[in-house]
Chain A
Amino acid sequence: MTRRPAAALVAALAATAGLGVCSSIAAADSFTPVGLTISIAPVARRHAPLPITVAITADPGVLDGSEGPLRMEVRLAPECGGTFQTTPGTTLVNAALNPQPSTGKAYAGSVKGSGRPSAYGAQTVCAFLEDTDIGRVYANDESMQVTVSPSCTGAATAYDRARAALTRAQKQLRRSTRAAVRRRLKRKIASRKRTVARDKRRATTACGAGVAL
C-alpha cells in the first residue's frame, strides 16, 4: 500500500466520521478482494447538494486486469441497473480513480462527489467500480439507501429562510440611521434569532446530523 492512498483513505474516513454520515464498509481482504466504503447522509434534502465519499481498497493485483482506467461511478436511483450506464437517477460521482492502481500493488484511495436529488422518497446509492473502456464491474454496492425527506426539505428550507430574514434585518440595521427604526430592528433581530434557533433545531431533528444546514 502506498503512503498517499492510505493517508487519503484515513482522512476520508476521519472526515466522514464527524459528519454524522453513515458508512457501508466492505474493506478488501482475501475473501472480498475489492472493498467499497460509502459515506453518505441517511437523510437528504431535495434539490440541495448531497455529498458522498467512497473509499476504495483492493488486494494486491486484483485490479490489474482492468481494460482501461478505473472509474468510480455512483448514482442515486429508485432502482439500480446492472451497470452505471443503465442506472437512471442523480449522478453523485463519476470520476476516474486518482491515482490509478499500480500493477501488483494493493490499492487504497477515495473519491468524493456530490449531487442534488430531484425526487422524494427512499432511494438506493448505486455504486460501481468500472473500467472506462468496457464497463466491466470490479465491485458494486447497492446496500445503502438515502431518504430524500419532505420534512427535512421543508424544515431546512424554513431554516434557510429564517437565516436569510435575520441577515436582511441585520443589514437593514447597519444601514438604518433613524433611532426608532433601529429600536424596532433590534427587537426584530432578537426575534429572528429565536426563530433561527428554533428552525435549526427543527431542521436538525428532521434531517439528522448528516445534512449540512
Chain B
Amino acid sequence: MSDIRSPHEAERLLTVAPDAYETRRDFLKRTAVSAGLAAGMGLVLDPDVVVAEAARRQRRVKLPSPRNLPIDTFVVLMMENRSFDHYLGWLPGADGRQAGLQFTNPAGQKLSTHRLNFTQSCGFEDPDHSWDGGRTELDGGRMDGFLRADSDVFSIGYYEEADVPFTPHAAKAFTTFDRFFCSLLGPTYPNREYMHAAQSYGMTDNSLPVSSKGLGFPDTTIFNALSQVGVSNRYFYTDLPISALWGAPGLARSGQVQEYYERAAAGTLPALSFVDPAFQGESQGTSGDEHPLADIRVGQAFQADIVHAFMSSPQFKRGALFMVYDEWGGFFDHVAPPRVPDLRQSRTLANDFGQMGFRIPAVVVSPYARRGHVDHSIYGFESILKMIRYRYGVPALTPRDLYANNIAAAFDFESKPDYEVPNLPSPPEVVVSACGGTAPADSGGTGIDDGPLGAPPGTVPSLEVPERTPAEMLTSGYLERLGFHYTPATPATMYRHPSKLGMRA
C-alpha cells in the first residue's frame, strides 16, 4: 500500500488519483475525530445554544443599589451542630459525600461512613467540635481526623434525604449553599459570637464573659450597629438567650420566640431578627436545637414553624430567612475550610482565628432566592452580616465581614420574584424522652462544646466553671445576675401551634 505521508507519493497520488488521496486522508481523520467526539460528548447541543448559555453563565449581574435592594426583613435561624455532608451530602447538584468515605481511628482501624438509623443519639459521645479537636479533624487540610479527635463512630454517620423531616425539603425548594463554612473552627459560643459580631472577642470556647467591668462583651454587634442608624432589630430566644453574652444591652433587645410568631403574622417583624431554638437538655437528648444527643425531629419541627411563620408573613415578599447551623458539631465533612483575614489572625494555626470551620447546612428562603438551586460560592456567617450591612449602609464590624463575600450575590434580583410558597412539610408531632442515664444532666454534666482551651492572654476572663455548656448561663448564675428570668421551653412556648408536641412539657 502506498504511503501518503511521503511527499513524492502524495504528489503522485494527487496527480493520478486525487479523489483517492483525499478520501483516504479524510476518512482516517474524520473517523478518528468522530470516534473521539462521540466518546466524549454523548449529546451535541446546537453550537449557538452552547455559546449563548456559556456567555449567560459568565454574565455577572450587578447588585441593585442598597436602597433598591428589595429585601427589608432579614431573619437568621441558627440551629446546632451538623455538618454539610452529614445532613445534606446527598443533595443533587451539591458537592456532598456520604457513603464510601473511610476514617482511621486512634487504634489504626479504618471505619466507613454509615447511614444513621436513629434520630436521638443516646449512648453516643457528643462528637468533638472544640478548637483543638477541629484542628485534629482538619489535619492540615486532609480532612481525615474525625475519628482521631475525641469522637466515636457517631461522628462519621450521616442522614439521607428521607431521614431528616424538614431541612431537605427546604434545601430542595430554595437556594442551598455548599460552600458555607462556619466562621470559626471551634464550638458554639464563639461561632454564635461571629454571627452576632464578626468576632469572638478572643474566645475559643463557651466561656462566659465576666470581667471587672461587668458582664458581657462590648456591644459591637450588628444589632447595635443597626440601632445606630435607626434600623429596627430583635433577638428571639426559646429558653436561653445567647444575646446575654452581650450583657444587659443584649437582653434589652431580646424577646421570647412567641413574639416572633406574633410579629411575623402581623407583619411587624423588625428589619433584622435572629431566632434561636431551645438549648436546654442537650446532653439528655431533649433539647430543641438538633445538638447531639437531641432528637433531630424536635428541632426540625421548630425550624418548620419558624419558616412557615415567615413564609406566611406579609413580610415574606420583601424578606430573606437564612437557615444555618452554628458549627459542624464534630461530624465529618470532606471540604477543607479556608483561612481568611481576621482581627486576631495568626501565622500559627493553633492561635489563628482566621481559620474558618467546616461546612454547615445553609439555606436561604426568599422570593428572590433561586428555587431548587445550589450556590457554590464561599460564604460564612459574616457573609450574611455583609448583606445586611450592604442593605442598611452599616460600616464593617471587623476585618472578617469586611473581606467576606456578600451573600446577596446568591440571590436573583433580575428575575421577577417568586411569591409562591412551596409546599414544605410540617413535621409530625414528636414525644421525646430523656436518654436513659447515658449522659449526665446539663447542670454539671458534660453537655456540649467542651472546648478545652481557655481564652488567650489579654482576652476577657471567663467564669470559673468546670464544664462549658450553654446551660452554664443558667447554672452559673450568669443570667440571674443580669436579671433574666429563665423559663424552660415547653410546646406552648416553642411552637407556632402549641398542639405540636416536640418537647416534654
B490: chain A residues within 8 A (beta carbon): none
Give B349's nearest chain A residue, CB to CB: A134
- Distance, CA A184 to CA B44, complexed state (A): 37
Please tell me if the beta carbons of B339 and A135 are within 8 angstroms of each other in the complex.
yes
Give B66's nearest chain A residue, CB to CB: A31
Interface of A is mostly: mixed
Provide the A147-158 mask, 1 if CB < 8 A to any CB of B, else 0.
Answer: 101111111011
Interface of B is mostly: helix
Q: Is A161 an interface residue (CB 8 A)?
A: yes
Please tell me if the beta carbons of A172 and B10 are within 8 angstroms of each other in the complex.
yes
- Distance, CA A7 to CA B336, complexed state (A): 37
In residues 156-213 of chain A, which contact B (Cβ within 8 Å)? Answer: 157-158, 161, 172, 175-176, 178, 180-181, 184-185, 188, 202, 205-208
How many B residues face the partner with a CB closer than 8 A? 50
B338: chain A residues within 8 A (beta carbon): 82-83, 135-137, 140
Q: Which of B56-64, B152-160, B192-200 lies at the interface?
A: B56-64
B15 is contacted by which of A122, A143, A175, A178 (Cβ under 8 Å)?
A178
Min CB distance, A135 to chain B, in Å?
A: 6
Q: Is A2 an interface residue (CB 8 A)?
A: no
How many A residues face the partner with a CB closer than 8 A? 64
Please tell me if the beta carbons of A206 and B14 are within 8 angstroms of each other in the complex.
no
Provide the B48-86 mask, 1 if CB < 8 A to any CB of A, else 0.
Answer: 101101110111100000000000000000000000000
Provide the B220-251 mask, 1 if CB < 8 A to any CB of A, else 0.
Answer: 00000000000000000000000000000000
Min CB distance, B310 to chain A, in Å?
A: 27
Task: Decide yes or no: A134 and B376 within 8 Å by CB, A149-B50, A157-B33, A181-B14 being known contacts.
Answer: no
- Distance, CA A42 to CA B41, complexed state (A): 18
B11 is contacted by which of A22, A139, A172 (Cβ under 8 Å)?
A172
Task: Decide yes or no: A140 and B405 within 8 Å by CB, A24-B58, A124-B376, A147-B57 being known contacts.
Answer: yes
Task: Decide yes or no: A22 and B95 within 8 Å by CB, A65-B345, A136-B339, A137-B340 being known contacts.
Answer: no
B181 is contacted by which of A82, A146, A158 (Cβ under 8 Å)?
A82
- Distance, CA A141 to CA B461, complexed state (A): 39
Task: Decide yes or no: A153 and B57 within 8 Å by CB, A32-B406, A206-B47 being known contacts.
Answer: no
Q: Is A81 an interface residue (CB 8 A)?
A: yes
- Distance, CA A43 to CA B55, complexed state (A): 8
Please tell me if the beta carbons of A142 and B55 are within 8 angstroms of each other in the complex.
no
- Distance, CA A155 to CA B335, complexed state (A): 37
Q: Is B377 an interface residue (CB 8 A)?
A: yes
Q: List 23 A-B contacts (CB under 8 A).
A: A26-B60, A33-B402, A43-B50, A65-B345, A80-B179, A82-B337, A136-B340, A136-B341, A137-B339, A138-B403, A140-B405, A142-B378, A143-B377, A144-B58, A149-B47, A149-B54, A152-B51, A153-B37, A154-B37, A176-B11, A181-B11, A205-B48, A207-B47
The 5 A-B pairs at the shortest CB distance, nearest first, are namely A150-B41, A206-B47, A42-B54, A147-B54, A22-B58
